[in-house]
Structure 1
Amino acid sequence: MQDRTHAAAATPGETVTVAGWAHEIRDLGGIAFLIVRDRTGKIQIKFEKDAMDDELVEAGTDLTRESVVAVTGEVEEEERAPTGVEIVPESVEVIAPAEPELPLDPSEKVGAELPTRLDNRTLDLRREEAKAIFEIRAEVLRAAREAFRDLECTEINTPKIVATGTEGGTELFPITYFGQEAFMNQSPQLFKQLMVGSGLERVFEVGPIFRAEEHNTPRHLNEATSIDFESAFIDHEEAMDACEQVVRAAYEGVAANCTDQLDTLGYDDFSVPEEAFPRLTYEEAIERINATGELDEQLVWGDDLPTEGEKALGSDVGGHYFVTDWPSEIKPFYIKDHDDGELSTGFDMMAPNMELVSGGQREHRHDHLVEGFEQQGLDPEAFEYYTKMFKYGMPPHAGWAIGAERLVMTMLDLPNIREAVLFPRDRQRLSP
């Protein structure tokens, strides 16, 4: 609609056309009000029954909530109206009527459980709180992309259908690809490493990953959005510097550009991490977790950090932090070891209550890379497209990946990661 004016831009003295959804109808006898909502907010439409044509009043008040309407009229000041202005209508057009029985209430006078909301996600995102989350998510991705460009990265897009899994194992979704078996990619890891060996050198990607995880928890998904970084000629320490820069930029972007959305969600004290993220070795991490006394059994060398341990350590640290120098046996084959061979350059970056980032320096030497495959029970020949490029001058390189949904989840302290996904894919949900 070329002549449409958004609700937030309606100015007293103008004749405007506002289009949106019928958010609420209030009939007070001789006067009635229609509240129209669009993406910028709400505006009040006033119907004085005795002074207006009956058909006009009926068109504006005999509506079902969430019907799509277009209202044309003069904007007047009215301090008692929710936004300080109201429209005295000249015409009301019902563009698309809504059924009287809605599966959920976008005005939130009646709440709905998360499964109902996800089943009716289009309606759910008419709620201000749900819309605010995705506007913040969009800002997180915008700010991350800008931070990557500040780091002189080139954005890439890698295949999501592959012949072999990035890390092997059972977390693969097999598909039939013209009569042969293929898989949905677990990660762009191998491809982004190949790109640092090209003329691009420093790359990033924001895209989907697929993992057939059996976990069915508030923080796991089977399709997620991965924010990936990889750079030639840096080590794991410099990779952590870049990681911290991108995460901080995401917080700064939200703080600067999403004040209305944060207000909608009730965040009065949203803060940007200012201090450098502590870097704890794996050994220090398990010692500090054990010292909290929160676990039934003490962690020993070689254990992964359980969820309860991550939360205990996050509470002890009080902010984002890195865990570095993991045992080599825990990390994937492509992570480079320190000279002693027992410790790796792998690192994780943690929010106070969960892991956000996995990264490290990569093994760039062909022979050592092939040995890593064999040690983890993988067939190097199945990854020949990847390993052969390491014969032709692969520079030292490092990188990492952030789960976008986890970043938004922890930033906003959401109770379930599905709140940060438009249409989640998990063990039970394949539609919508």
Structure 2
Amino acid sequence: MQDRTYTADAEPGDDVTVAGWVHEIRDLGGIAFLILRDATGKIQVKFEKDEMDEDLVETGLGVARESVVKVSGAVEEEPRAPTGVEVTPESLEVISAADPELPLDPSGKVDAEMSTRLDNRTLDLRKEEVQAVFEIRAEILRAVREQFREFGSTEITTPKIVATGTEGGTELFPITYFGEEAFMNQSPQLFKQLIAGSNVERVFEIGPIFRAEEHNTPRHLNEATSIDFEGAFCDQNDAMDVVEGVVTAAYEAISENCQDELEALGLEEEFEVPDEAFPRISYEDAIERINATGELDEQLVWGDDLSTAAEEALGADVGGHYFITDWPSEIKPFYIKDHDDDEQLSTGFDLMHPRMELVSGGQREHRHEKLIEGFEQQGLDPDQFEYYTKMFKYGMPPHAGFGLGGERLVMTILGLENIREAVLFPRDRQRLSP
């Protein structure tokens, strides 16, 4: 629409054509107002019934909310209007009429259940605060990409249809691939390691992962966005440095570029950029600190994984982002390298937000014989991963990396209660459409 003016650009004295959705109609008798909404904001359209064409008034005031309209007219200053200006229409065209019975209220005056919102995501996204979440999500991904590039990383894209699962197990979605069984990939882990073993060295990917986990919680999805990094000649400490830089860059970008969105979410006063290094706490110390809080019914012992309650207890104790390092080898996947001086300890780490885990990472096992041993110890058949293991015979450098949950990052940054609020069209056990 070449002659269109966005509502935010309409200035007193202009003759404009604005187009958008009918947000609200206020009929006060001899005068009425239509509030038109577009991507940049809202503008008031004034109808003086006795002084205007009867058909124009009838069309403007008879249209249902959320209909798409085009209005042409003069912009005048009006301090009482929501944005300080209003349009006196010379013409109004209904481009697309909406059904008067809407499944939810985009104005936000009437709340809707999460399932109703997700069933009608297009309408839900017309709410300013919902749009704000996804504008911020987009800014996070932009900032993350930029930070990875500053770390000298190359963006890659790895297959999402694979012959074997990254970690084996039952958390796989099987599909039929030209008559053969294949799977949706759980992670780009094995592929990004192979590329880091080439001359590219440092790589990152932002893409979907699929896990057929039997859960239905506010923090889990079956299709999620993973932000991955892998770097040759890196150890776990280098990888943690990259994680910290990427997460901090996301916060900084929001602070610099998303003030309107933070205001729409009511977060402009409380939003803070991390200004200190993230503490690095060993698994052993983490267990001691959790037990010392007295928040758990039973004390943790060496080798226990951390429950949600344990994570929350430690998160409240630390009060900000922190790493848990030096996990027991038996807890971490086969591709995580053990410490050279203690094979009971892995180089694996997790980055934690006080509410939940965000990142799993570590230095990888780059020695072919040790890698094969790791497969066998976890009950996996190395022959099924021969495309991966054979490359470790041809000069694989030490390397380290991580996977960061994209939706969890958005969720924790914005304090969202349900991870589905950070996804346009979530996929979980109950939801396959839209």
State the TM-score, normalizing by the size of structure 2: 0.99
What is the CA-CA distance between 1:354 and the residue it aligns to?
A: 0.3
Partner of 2:96: 96
Alignment of 1:49-128 (within 5 A): 49-128=49-128
Structure 1 counterpart of 2:203, one-letter code: V
Deviations 1:308-360 (A, max 9, x none): 00001000000000000000000000000002100000000000110000000
Partner of 1:239: 239
The 2-side partners of 1:239 and 1:349 are apart by 11
Partner of 2:312: 311
Partner of 2:256: 256
Q: List structure 1 runs of 4+ shifted beyond 4 angstroms.
A: none
SS where residue 430 of structure 2 aligns? coil
Structure 2 counterpart of 1:415, one-letter code: E
Deviations 1:12-39 (A, max 9, x none): 1111111000000011111010000011
What is the CA-CA distance between 1:389 and the residue it aligns to?
A: 0.5
Deviations 1:349-404 (A, max 9, x none): 00011000000000011111011000100000000000000111111100001100
1:336 aligns with 2:343: no
Structure 2 counterpart of 1:278, one-letter code: P
The 2-side partners of 1:108 and 1:196 are apart by 48
What is the CA-CA distance between 1:197 and the residue it aligns to?
A: 0.9
What is the CA-CA distance between 1:155 and the residue it aligns to?
A: 0.3
What is the CA-CA distance between 1:51 and the residue it aligns to?
A: 1.0
Q: What's the % identity of the aligned pairs?
A: 77
SS where residue 170 of structure 1 aligns? coil
The 2-side partners of 1:367 and 1:109 are apart by 63
Alignment of 1:143-182 (within 5 A): 143-182=143-182
The 2-side partners of 1:307 and 1:109 are apart by 34
What is the CA-CA distance between 1:126 and the residue it aligns to?
A: 0.4
Partner of 2:29: 29
Structure 1 counterpart of 2:339, one-letter code: H
Alignment of 1:414-425 (within 5 A): 414-425=416-427
Aligned residues: 432
The 2-side partners of 1:163 and 1:122 are apart by 36
Q: Could you tell me which of 380, 383, 399 is aligned with 1:381?
A: 383
The 1-side partners of 2:309 and 2:246 are apart by 27
The 1-side partners of 2:216 and 2:108 are apart by 28
Partner of 1:287: 288
Q: Could you tell me which of 405, 427, 430 is aligned with 2:429?
A: 427
SS where residue 91 of structure 1 aligns? strand
Partner of 1:215: 215
What is the CA-CA distance between 1:269 and the residue it aligns to?
A: 1.6
The 2-side partners of 1:363 and 1:274 are apart by 33
Structure 2 counterpart of 1:405, one-letter code: E
Partner of 2:398: 396
State the TM-score, normalizing by the size of structure 1: 1.00
The 1-side partners of 2:366 and 2:2 are apart by 56
Structure 1 counterpart of 2:411, one-letter code: M
SS where residue 304 of structure 1 aligns? coil
Partner of 1:327: 328
SS where residue 71 of structure 2 aligns? strand
SS where residue 341 of structure 1 aligns? strand
SS where residue 290 of structure 2 aligns? helix
Structure 1 counterpart of 2:184, one-letter code: M
The 2-side partners of 1:352 and 1:304 are apart by 17
Partner of 2:299: 298
Deviations 1:207-262 (A, max 9, x none): 00000011110000000000000000111001100100000000001111110000
Unmatched 5+ residue regions in structure 1?
A: none
Q: Could you tell me which of 350, 353, 359 is aligned with 2:352?
A: 350
RMSD: 0.5
SS where residue 342 of structure 1 aligns? strand
SS where residue 346 of structure 2 aligns? coil
The 2-side partners of 1:303 and 1:213 are apart by 20
The 2-side partners of 1:397 and 1:130 are apart by 39
The 1-side partners of 2:162 and 2:81 are apart by 57
The 2-side partners of 1:27 and 1:38 are apart by 21
Partner of 2:192: 192
Deviations 1:245-285 (A, max 9, x none): 00000000111111000000001220000110000000000
What is the CA-CA distance between 1:59 and the residue it aligns to?
A: 1.5
Structure 1 counterpart of 2:324, one-letter code: V
Partner of 2:132: 132
Unmatched 5+ residue regions in structure 2?
A: none
What is the CA-CA distance between 1:108 and the residue it aligns to?
A: 1.1
SS where residue 175 of structure 1 aligns? strand
Structure 2 counterpart of 1:49, one-letter code: K
The 1-side partners of 2:109 and 2:344 are apart by 58
Structure 2 counterpart of 1:327, one-letter code: P
The 2-side partners of 1:177 and 1:398 are apart by 32
The 2-side partners of 1:204 and 1:192 are apart by 8
